Chains A and B, each alone.
Chain A
């Protein structure tokens, strides 16, 4: 490719422009464990599908009730954790036809309790697809309900909250549910 002097200047500026414009990355502690965990679940799901048990795939994933996926070491306690000093949030998912609703409740005295719901995201197709935003309903305080519509049979919900004992958005748990 032949370039004029102007083009060369333009190209020469691109590396610095790209590098300088990117924001600071988040802490990477916990990423490796989460990736290994997700990889393991993916392998289980694929094995189930190969066995012809499509619904069992969801059952296997959903059987764990809550799948913990921390994105960093400061993540708030996941549901199911039994540490009495950090009570686990309670959550439930209810599946109806192409609609899933749920409730996510943090005990008020939990040291890691969130002050507000930051976002609820859904993952379809066993994490094979990128997430989509879910629409919270009801309170956006520590007791939160959410619901969403999906045309996929299996959905995992990921919840991010702003915590009192940590800052930033935390990926704290996931559940799956199918009609």
Chain B
């Protein structure tokens, strides 16, 4: 097998192993199944040319893809035709629920409604912090900003979420 074929096979392994997690992050960022697919594939297509170099240098290709994912998403959100989640006055039936054993019930729709109240960067910070479990400095690196800016987005995002009626947890 040639070096190029080896690299392609390694890339395939990476996507199969880490793609689902990247897709879930993309879904939380976009709130849309198909946009999440497109976002992941766009990020992968932009990261692929660097795959060999990053692997060779011992870097984290996943971190690189995640950064591409975030950047592409933020670029999309800046475009005029971005279609955000459509808010509805009528509450739909929950599509899925989370129960952590303490009667903390949250529907997928409620979560999306709450996330939709955030700015693109606030939402990204929340997803990277609480879903990806990244530190503030790692988030700052992904967003290309200072940790102070991340703290600001983080603080404001939590304030919005706490105030969200859709995300009213049984505190």
Binding site for B on A (CB under 8 A): 1, 6-7, 9-11, 13-23, 25-26, 28-29, 31-36, 38-39, 42-43, 71, 119, 121, 127, 129-132, 169, 171
Contacts and interface: CB of A to CB of B under 8 A. Distances in A.
Interface in B9-38: 11-12, 14-16, 19-21, 23-24, 27-28, 33-35, 37-38
B47 to A, nearest CB: 8
B171 A25 contact: no
29 contacts: A1-B151, A9-B171, A10-B158, A10-B161, A13-B169, A15-B130, A17-B167, A19-B24, A20-B96, A20-B98, A20-B106, A21-B98, A21-B108, A21-B112, A22-B27, A22-B28, A23-B33, A23-B108, A26-B37, A28-B19, A31-B19, A31-B41, A32-B11, A35-B44, A35-B45, A36-B11, A42-B45, A43-B49, A121-B34
Nearest to B101: A16
A31 B48 CA distance: 12
Interface in B101-120: 104, 106-108, 111-112
Contact of A28 (B20, B48, B49): B20
Query: Interface residues of A: mostly helix, strand, loop or mixed?
Result: helix
Interface of B: 8, 11-12, 14-16, 19-21, 23-24, 27-28, 33-35, 37-42, 44-46, 48-49, 76, 79, 81-82, 96-98, 100, 104, 106-108, 111-112, 126-127, 130-131, 133, 151, 154-155, 158, 161-162, 167, 169, 171
A33 B112 CA distance: 31
Contacts of B11: 32, 35-36
Closest 4 CB pairs of A and B: A20-B98, A35-B44, A28-B19, A38-B45
Given A32-B8, A36-B11, A21 B107 contact: yes
A36 B127 CA distance: 27
A39 B45 contact: yes
A15 B131 contact: yes
Contacts of A39: 45-46, 48-49
Contacts of B45: 34-36, 38-39, 42, 127
Contacts of A7: 158, 162
Given A15-B133, A21-B108, A38-B45, A26 B23 contact: yes
Nearest to A133: B83
Nearest to A125: B79
A149 to B, nearest CB: 13
